Structure 1
Amino acid sequence: MSKAIYPGTFDPFTLGHLNILEKACHIFDEVILAVAEYSGKENLFNLQERYELCKKATEHIPNLVVSTFQGLFVDYAKSQNCKIMIRGMRAVSDFEYELSLAITNKKLNPEIETIFLVPSLKYMYLSSSMVRQLADLNGPLEDYVPACVAEAMRKKYVS
């Protein structure tokens, strides 16, 4: 059985993330959507909220498991007996960061392979940062995030 992990902070989980995830689920028998505790930045949603939103937004995908992890991705991948990491590659601006991440993970665990998937054109410039800015300015969210995420974001920005 082929298995891959799609790790990230998913703060918030966007339609671009969903697009990459659905592509991965067509390629692999099982995909783990691994919500990372550590993000290196201030999060809009805490780990449990991000996990629950990802779970709800992806409940239609049968070969998907949503989980959380702490610490290094390579340690989590080893605990899941998985050697493949999925990453989305939107534009040239993503390349340097994603390449350095892949190289670092490979150095930490030589068995890890990174597979880059390109989102559909309409999600090419979509980012979680952009969605947070839209929400902060009370902009429309439905074209950028699943409905459950849009609702949760509106609640966060109202309070």
Structure 2
Amino acid sequence: MRTGVYPGTFDPITLGHMDIIRRGAKLVDRLVIGVTTNASKSPMFSLEERLATVRRETAGIPGIEVVAFNSLLMDFAERQGASIIVRGLRAVADFEYEYQMAGMNQQINNRVETVFLMADVALQPIASRLVKEIALYGGAIHKFVSPTVCEDVVARVNALGKLGD
């Protein structure tokens, strides 16, 4: 059985993430969505909330498993029995970062390959960071996330309070 890992913070999970998940799931028998924390990012949602959201959003996709992790990606991939890491690319800036990470990861564990999937052209500009920023300023995010994720984000923004005027 071929296992892949698709890591991310998924704060929140976007239509771009879902595109990569659907397509990545076709490449493997089992795709583990690794939900992690990132010290350089300020999450809007807790790890538990993000896990629940990713599980809800991916429930209809066969072969998906959602797991939290807080370790080196290559150690997590090894524990999952993964032979590939799935990464999505939106722009040249993504490529430069991801290329460097793939090289470092290969040095750590050369038994796991990194596979890059180009984001759908219509979804390329979507980034969780921008979705949160738009929402915090009261903008519409329905074009970037599913209806249920949109509701979750709007509810969180209402609880936190909008920024700006």
Per the TM superposition, whether the score is higher than 0.5 is: yes
Q: Partner residue of 1:80?
A: 80
Aligned to 2:14: 14
C-alpha displacement of 1:51: 0.5
What pairs up with 1:4-153 in 2 under 5 angstroms? 4-153=4-153
RMSD over equivalenced CA pairs, Å: 1.1
**2: CA distance, partners of 1:149 / 1:67:** 19
Structure 2: gaps of 5 or more residues: 160-165
CA contact (8 A) 1:5 1:77 kept: yes
Distance 1:20 1:3 in 2: 15
Distance 2:10 2:69 in 1: 13
Among the aligned pairs, what percent are the same residue? 34
- Report the 3-state secondary structure (helix = DSSP H, G, I; strand = E; otherwise coil) of the residue aligned with 1:27: coil
Unaligned 5+ runs, structure 1: none
Q: 1:149 to 1:39 in 2, by over 3 A?
A: farther
Q: How many Å separate the matches in 1 of 2:97 and 2:59?
A: 30
Contact 2:2 2:83 in 1 (8 A): no
Letter in 2 for 1:66: V
- Are 1:38 and 1:71, in contact at CA under 8 Å, matched by a contact in 2? no
Contact 2:86 2:117 in 1 (8 A): yes
Question: In the TM superposition, what is the alpha-carbon distance from 1:39 to its structure 2 partner?
Answer: 4.3
Which SS does the other structure have where 2:35 is aligned? strand
**Number of corresponding residues:** 159
